Amino acid sequence: MKTTHFNVLVQREDDWYVAQCVDNFVASQGQSVEEALANLKEALELYYENEELPAKQSLTFLTSLEVAV
């Protein structure tokens, strides 16, 4: 079994956390960050169950930036 890394964005929406893979737009949710990530991991495993993994992804970094406006 092969493994690979995916870039994931987690956002809070009301009482839920939504985890979205930015490399292929597969998403899942959970009541905690850990649950949302675990659910996304399962969703990605199912998504690629009968598919070939994509070429190695480059890691994307997300940060915040304070700007005076």
CA 24 to chain CA centroid, Å, is 9
CATH number at residue 64: 3.30.160.250
Q: What pLDDT digit, counting tens, does each position of 5-48 carry?
A: 889 999 999 999 999 998 888 999 999 999 999 999 999 999 99
Q: How many CA atoms lie within 13 A of 50 on its CB side?
A: 0
Domain residues for the domain of 53 are 1-69
pLDDT at 63: 82
Domain count across the chain? 1
